[in-house]
Amino acid sequence: MYAWELTYRYLIVLFLLWGGTLSAQDADEVTFEIKLSKEKLGINERLRVEFAMNKDGDNFNPPTFDGFQVIMGPSQSISSSWINGKRTFSKSYSYILKPTAQGSFTIGQAAIEIDGETYKTIPRKVQITQAVANPNAPKTAEDVADENLHLIAEVSKGSPYLNEAVTVVYKLYISSNISVTNFRPLDSPKYNNFWSQDIPVTKYNTVNETYKGKPYRSVILKRVVLYPQKSGKLEIEPLALEIYVDVPTSRRDFFGSRIYTQTSKTVSAGKRTLNVLPLPEQGKPVGFSGAVGQFDFTVTTSKTSLNASESLQAKVEVSGKGNLKLFQLPEPELPSALEVYEPEFDEKVRTTITGMQGKVTNNYTIVPSFRGRYPIPSISFSYFDPRARAYRTLNSDEITINVMEGPTDDVQGTPGLVGRPQIAVATGSQFHFIKTQPNLISVSTERFFGSQKFLWLLFGPLALIPLVLFIRKKKQESDADVEGNRLKMANRLAKKYLSTAKKQLGNPDGFYVALEKALHNYLKAKLKIETSEFSKEKIVDLLNDRKVDEATTSQFIALLQSCEMARYSPITNVQMNEDYVKASEVISKMDKQL
């Protein structure tokens, strides 16, 4: 009796455990998937295809395997285990396939019935290439890294207009099978025939994305904004990186964790070609200076009423979004009676991922010499709008300067001047201020002829004659020194163009942007060329035509290249000072030769 009761209790406990296990298993989600030994293989290699499920099923129906020959299978395997009181189950059907042709093939859907329901796998694509030297060799760490790393250059626009902003984003796609530990650039693009501005990436954030139908993690490594300076087919040179990755192996350590091996892989974004459209000739305004974008244009003055010899500020400003650093501002036409000083250029432009935006300004100091009314005529500013694919022209308002007090410009006969002063009419008390009792004091009379004052006035001018002759001789020597005068003029010109760059010494980004603009502005002023013509090859040809020696031309091009390289490498204050001195010397030399 006791034995029967013990056996009965044992059966009850066993039944409860078995029922709990079935309940836990029933609660698990059913999975049925396809696993490939590789997704790309040579025609002389073999492909292992496995259809795996986590619950037992019946009526397995395999796909047709178009493009392959089944040389083995199906092989069935079943495994079951208990872990922490929970049962795990897996079952699979395996095939060994031989490719019959090169190309892209699809492993179709397989079907199976589990618990009365039909489940199907997701189709998978396989790429069959030409025969390989070592078929079915185990994949190396380099092979795994090559299949799971992709560097892509994403271009915002494939057919931009000349001087229209194009954004290039270099993005690295990383499979979840590997992990990246570090990277370093091997070859940075030079962006020939482009004005370029790097947008620094301060933080590398990973984002889950899909690339060619597969899940990847992506990270942005580099961003750059380009403004094409030449129409036609322009190539963007590839970015090459050396990536250090950890690749999992088939080995495990003492604790069962997978062992990883480190390897490095060189990836390249490949060349990208842009079809740069020229700006249309039809409808191009006469005063067009190369501005492309969307802009506003204003001309303002600090005051409109003042006295002669006082000063006012006239500001010519263009604001908006576009190639703000790559065109010239229009100049106002002012009456000759207004003395106008060289304008001070001010630039407040920031470059974002979509291009330049901000404003550029020329500030003119104006000093009137005579009283009167002086009009500042309306100024036109033209630009090309790539969105509308048309030219736009903006006109400023006419401004009148009223000079209230000062001398009259009778010689020039300036229109609008105040008339001549009238003769005042005397009144009956015009002499009321004359004193009738002057209280005169007697003064001793001294003979002037022969006095000390008389001698100074007589012989003083004679003593100044040698000094005047000496000053005149020095001036003649200075005028005769043509080379020296040219050097002085060239030095003043260099200081004028490099003044903004000098203020930015110590700030690498601001200094080299200002230095590059100074070099370009100097060429525009001297060679009378459009901004759109700026390329190193064009500059060399123009300087050679103007008989500039090869050494000076090479130094000028080297400075432009330094400005470009400064965006990708750290710069010291010593190097900035050296480049500033070189720029001053090059402009001086070039100005003498031009």
Give me the phi and psi of 148, to 5 degrees please. -115, 10
The owner of tokens 């990436």 is 201
pLDDT of residue 415: 41
What is 31-129's CATH number? 2.60.40.740
Q: What digits encode the pLDDT tens for the residues 519-572?
A: 777 777 676 665 455 677 778 888 888 888 888 888 888 888 777 777 666 677
Per DSSP (E only), the strands in 269-354 are: 272-276, 293-301, 305-306, 312-322, 338-340, 344-352
Helix pair angle (550-565, 508-527), 10° resolution: 140
Residue 292 near residue 383 (C-beta atoms within 8 A): yes
pLDDT at 219: 93
Classify residue 430 by burial, with Cβ atoms within 10 Å: 0-12, 13-18, 19+.
exposed
Do 293-403 and 31-129 have the same topology in CATH?
yes
Bridge partners of residue 372, in order along the sequence: 403
Q: Which of 383-397, 515-529, 564-578 has the highest mean pLDDT?
A: 383-397
DSSP 333-357: ---TTEEEPPPEEEEEEEEETTEEE
Q: What is the pLDDT of residues 428-438, one digit of tens each?
A: 444 444 455 55
Whether residue 27 is predicted with pLDDT greater than 70 in this model: the reply is: no
The string of pLDDT tens digits covering residues 184-196 is: 887 778 888 999 9
Q: Which residues are CB-contacts of 483 (< 8 A; sequence separation ≥ 6)?
A: 592
37, 26 Cβ separation under 8 angstroms: no
Tokens of 67: 């493009």
Q: Which residue has the higher pLDDT, 179 or 457?
A: 179
**Structural tokens at position 270:** 């490949």
Query: Which range has the worst mean pLDDT, 35-44, 340-349, 402-411?
Result: 402-411
* Helix and strand counts by DSSP (H, E) for the chain: 8, 30
Nearest partner of 501 among 420, 592, 580, judged by Cα: 580
Q: Quick one: which H or E segment has residue 373?
A: strand 372-376
Considering the chain, what percentage of its residues have pLDDT values greater than 70? 81
Query: Token pair of 243, please?
Result: 């990536």
- Residue-averaged pLDDT of the chain: 80
What is the token pair recorded at 564? Answer: 């470009």
> CA-CA distance, 412 to 338, in Å (whole number)?
12
Mean pLDDT score, 451-471: 77
pLDDT at 8 over 50: no
Domain boundaries, the chain: 1-25, 31-129, 141-276, 293-403, 482-593
| 117: its two tokens | 């329901």
What distance in Å separates the CA atoms of residue 268 and residue 266, rounded to the nearest whole number? 7
Q: What is the CATH number of domain 482-593?
A: 1.20.120
The SS3 call for residue 573 is: helix
- Who's near 435: CB < 8 A, 6+ residues apart? none
Q: Are 390 and 382 in contact (CB under 8 A)?
A: no
Domain 293-403 has CATH 1.10.760: no
Q: pLDDT digit string (tens) for 317-366?
A: 999 999 999 999 999 988 888 889 889 999 999 999 999 999 999 999 99
pLDDT of res. 294? 96
The 3-state DSSP composition of the chain as helix, strand, coil percent (nearest 5) reads 25, 40, 35
Residues 420, 26: Cα–Cα separation, whole Å: 111
For 285, other C-beta atoms within 10 Å of its C-beta total 14
CA dist 409 and 417 (Å) reads 8
Whose tokens are 């065109």? That residue is 327
Cβ atoms of residues 532 and 292 within 8 Å? no
Amino acid letter at 557?
Answer: I
Is the pLDDT at 400 greater than 90? The verdict is yes
Amino acid 514: pLDDT: 81
